[in-house]
Structure 1
Amino acid sequence: MRLKSFARAADELGVTASAITQHIRTVEDWVGKPLFLRRGRYVVPTDIADAAMPSLREGFDRLLEGTRLLREADRKSYVVSISAPPSFAAKWLRPRLEAFRTLHPEYEAWLSADLKLVDFSTSEIDICVRYGPGGYPGLTAEQILSESITPVASPAFIARHGPFHRPQDILQARLLHDMGAENDPSSPSWWMWFDSRGFDDLRALDGPRYNDPALVIDEAVAGRGVALAKRAIAESDIAAGRLQPLFNDQTPLSFAYWLVWPRGRTLPAPVKAFIAWIKSEAQRGLFVDGEGI
């Protein structure tokens, strides 16, 4: 029904078009009514097929979930498989995972760094961290971290190019730009950040561009410029003293980090343990505000 073509459905399923046609004919014989009508090169469902589709789709989803549980019963008893955006995985989650393993030596945590949205009906991923506005259809979503941005630099960079007491003080510094796919509409660029603070006569704001927030943070740690950093991505480097916020100035963002999993899914013990642990870690918070350097 979605593809409006038996041939396209066959390609997607990896079978022949004749096999699809034969299956449809068998079901129609069993039902005693036609289920599809031909409209030129396309097929469209009859009214009765269209009316039955929501119940059929729900039934197939439940069948998929049941077969998934049977297939993965052994692994699910000791493994939690997590997907997270690359920068969050590298800078926030991965450094903390050893604490989860220490707390729960009976479980294994497998981490996949990926921007692609997970199809829980076919993937072995148990739970995802998503960065976004929330409200994901068909999924349970619990916010674990809000997000904000603030200018940061390494102590060595500040010593060479500071002091930085006001926003205008960093206009002549080398600015590091995050152009990555993980950016969101609520996250300002350097131009927007300065403009919101009353600077309307800005120079070109030159500086290197990077396609991943984690790369921007790593460059700032290396003393190569000032980064407009996301709090969650930079907080471990700030807590360790590798970065310092330049001002007591954080801009809150409308996007946040969410734990998501299929609504109605029975969660095995390793997943429940991970959810409890990551919520506790998120509540701790290591970010330190700057006072002007």
Structure 2
Amino acid sequence: MATDRLGDMRLFAEAASAGSLSAAGRKLGLSPAAASARLARLEAALLAKLFDRTSRQLQLTDEGHTYLAHCTAALKIIDDAQAELQAGQGVVRGKLRISASTDFGRHLLDRWLDAFIDAHPEVRVSLTLTDSLSNLHQDKVDLAIRFGEPESSALVARRLAPNCRVLCASPEYVERHGAPSTPEDLEHHRFIVLVTGSGPLNEFHFAKGEQTWQYTVPMADAWESNDGGLVRTWTLAGRGIARKTIWDAAEDVRAGRLRILLPEYVARESGVYAIRHNTRYMAPRVRALLDFLIEQFAREAVALRDVLPHAE
């Protein structure tokens, strides 16, 4: 029987990334039995054991770590070659793998992607929503949208728009507890805090003229969640004040569901960025999406002036 070594390598790399052979098989359209048989065939051909199986978790052996490094490099070369050929053809098709924060992804990006797919019907989307920073070196992501510039020189960041974070509360919360007049008043209020893999986002920064303030929310008294969508739900329900990007808050502010607190104390931030791997070639579908996002963010940034006039 003819072998598909490239397919076996992709299965191995996916299994190493997911920590699950069945999950890797599903992603590649293989049954658990077929995925297991292909991995066994690969190990037999290499005369090496690539994984240790502990309960339901796969762990790479020393040989597996070595082979994964070579597989990743080989697959990247092949994918770059395909991207270069497609770029010459100008073909906008295939699967786009995108990463974004949960609230932004559900309530703004999802709507934008509908318009993008209408213009490029041969594109398919894989959208990962997470409020923790994805490891783009390991995750299979073509483009990540992040609020803030990455520090890694191995990533390419394209600034899409300005950004700031604002304190928000529902009208019901303000009616019951009042609105703070200065950052010092925050110690008398209740808060909802987003928690990421690097810890709670409970340090708030403010600026007015040359003066700056910082307030740290005591986590013992806060509602907290690792899901930005749930933070939004709790904020709308009046459980406390949340700190959100202006992009996440704008629609609810326009609709009167949320109010911006301390708008004159909003501090500037680095912006919204599209982040990708530092590779020479960019597939036409990725280039098309990046161009689309640049235009979309530019239009929306103008519209944000009615929510927060000095958002830029």
Q: Smaller-chain TM-score range? A: 0.5 to 0.7
Q: RMSD of aligned C-alpha atoms?
A: 4.5
User: Counterpart of 1:127?
Assistant: 143
Q: 1:229: Cα distance to partner? A: 2.0
Mapped to 2, the partners of 1:163 and 1:83 lie a distance apart of 35
Aligned equivalent of 2:6: none
Give the 3 Å change call, closer, same or farther, for CA 212–105 of structure 1 in structure 2. Answer: same
Percent identical across equivalent pairs?
A: 22
Aligned to 2:308: 289
Distance 1:252 1:175, change over 3 A: same
Residue 242 of structure 2 corresponds to residue 224 of structure 1: no
Partners of 2:203 and 2:215 within 8 A in 1: no
Q: By how many angstroms is 1:69 displaced? A: 8.1
1:205-247 superposed Cα distances (whole Å, 9 cap, x missing partner): 7221222333322211222211122223323322333211112
The 1:67–1:104 alpha-carbon spacing in structure 2 relative to 1, beyond 3 Å, is closer
Structure 2 residue runs of 5 or longer lacking an equivalent are 1-14, 17-38, 49-61, 64-71
Determine the C-alpha separation between the residues in 1 that align with 2:75 and 2:125. 29
Displacement of 1:150 in angstroms is 1.9
Change beyond 3 A, Cα 1:239–1:79:
farther
Aligned to 1:47: none
Q: Which residue is equivalent to 1:15?
A: 43
* Partner residue, 1:176: 192
| Residue in structure 1 matched with residue 163 of structure 2 by the alignment | 147
TM-score (norm 1): 0.62
Superposition pairs of residues 59-70 of structure 1, within 5 angstroms: 61-66=76-81
User: Which residue of structure 2 aligns with residue 82 of structure 1?
Assistant: 98
Aligned to 1:242: 257
Structure 2 contact 169–261 (Cα < 8 Å) conserved: yes
1:40-81 deviations in Å (ceiling 9; x for gaps)? xx99xxxxxxxxxxxxx97774245336889xx9x9625433
Query: Which protein shows a greater Rg?
Result: 1
1:152 Cα offset (Å): 0.9
1:175–1:205 contact (8 Å) kept in structure 2: no
Name the structure where helix makes up a greater proportion of residues: 2
Structure 1 range deviating more: 111-120 or 155-164? 111-120
What SS class does the counterpart of residue 251 from structure 1 fall into?
coil
TM value normalised by structure 2: 0.59
Q: C-alpha separation between the residues in 2 aligned to 1:59 and 1:207?
A: 48
Paired residue secondary structure (2:283): coil
> Following the alignment from structure 2 to structure 1, what is the Cα–Cα distance between the partners of residues 117 and 191?
38
SS of corresponding position for 1:179: strand
Q: Which residue matches 2:248?
A: 233
Letter in 2 for 1:289: L
CA distance in 2, matches of 1:157, 1:84: 29
Question: Which whole-Å CA distance do the structure 2 matches of 1:15 and 1:88 have between them?
Answer: 42
Gaps of 5+ in 1: 1-10, 21-41, 44-56
CA distance in 1, matches of 2:278, 2:214: 45
Aligned pair count reads: 241
Pairwise CA distance, 1:158? 1.8
Structure-2 separation of matches of 1:263 and 1:141: 12
Mapped partners of 1:251, 1:183: distance in 2:
21
Alignment check: 8 A CA contact 1:247 1:290 kept: no
Alpha-carbon distance between aligned partners in 2 of 1:84 and 1:176, rounded to the nearest angstrom: 21
Select which of 94, 97, 115 maps to 1:99. 115
For the residues of structure 2 that align with 1:203 and 1:259, how far apart are their CA atoms?
Answer: 33
The whole-number CA distance in structure 1 between the counterparts of 2:111 and 2:162 is 19
